[in-house]
Amino acid sequence: MSSFANVDLFDWFDNIDIYLFDQILKGRFLKGTKLLDAGCGHGRNLVYFLRAGHEVFGVDRSPAAIEEVQALAKKHSPGLSLDNFRVEDIEKMSFKDAASDVVISSAVLHFSSDIKHFNSMVSEMWRVLRPGGMFFSRLASSIGIEDRIRPAGKGRYKVPDGSTRFLVDEVFLREVSKQLGGRFLEPIKTVNVEGQRCMTTWCLRKD
């Protein structure tokens, strides 16, 4: 704990996803790791990786979001190419096969329009992940609130918090993982937020 005595943790980690932070604490990210954030938004999960010297990449369909992430890269990792951050759809990324050691996608997949869209995004993230690499996703699920959601069509559901999301369950995630040929690095973990929504952590190694 003494090593953090004079460290501003928010300055180092920003508003990082707590379950991604857990992966950092478990030592999943070796120095120089090539990490892609698919659906990076404004970069809330990237500050630590930029500051720690990892080779960071990001895609988002929002030009404004990518501009913000490029600004973060200039501030925290000035030697990094700004071309690493691209305005692209996740299902049509321009990166080469097996380009990344880690692919993260936090609070993105539940915006899928249907199962075909979900599968196309997951397949593309898997394509750019190298064998032996780690896939980490946090996404909305029906786990624990099955009796409180209402179908909205095409795998999407009305959730008690008022939103409409593409929802997965444990059976679905295990089937997709099997089809990908992925191995679970962590058990499937779900947080139930006062019965209003559930967020699930899905973490695989690409064998």
pLDDT in tens, 48-61: 999 999 999 999 99
**Whether the Cβ atoms of residue 108 and residue 86 lie closer than 8 Å to each other:** no
Amino acid 176: pLDDT? 98
For range 69-88, the mean pLDDT: 97
Say if residue 10's pLDDT is above 80.
Answer: no
Choose among 100, 137, 107: nearest CA to 122.
Answer: 137
Among the ranges given (10-19, 78-87, 139-148), the one the predictor scored with the smallest mean pLDDT: 10-19
Question: Of all residues in the chain, what percent carry a pLDDT higher than 90?
Answer: 92
Q: Where are the domains of the chain?
A: 9-19+31-206
**CATH number for the segment(s) 9-19+31-206:** 3.40.50.150
Of the pLDDT bands very low, low, confident and very high (cuts 50, 70, 90), residue 7 is low
For range 117-138, the mean pLDDT: 98
Say if residue 13's pLDDT is above 90.
Answer: no
For range 73-86, the mean pLDDT: 97
For range 163-178, the mean pLDDT: 98
Of the pLDDT bands very low, low, confident and very high (cuts 50, 70, 90), residue 15 is confident
Amino acid 1: pLDDT? 37
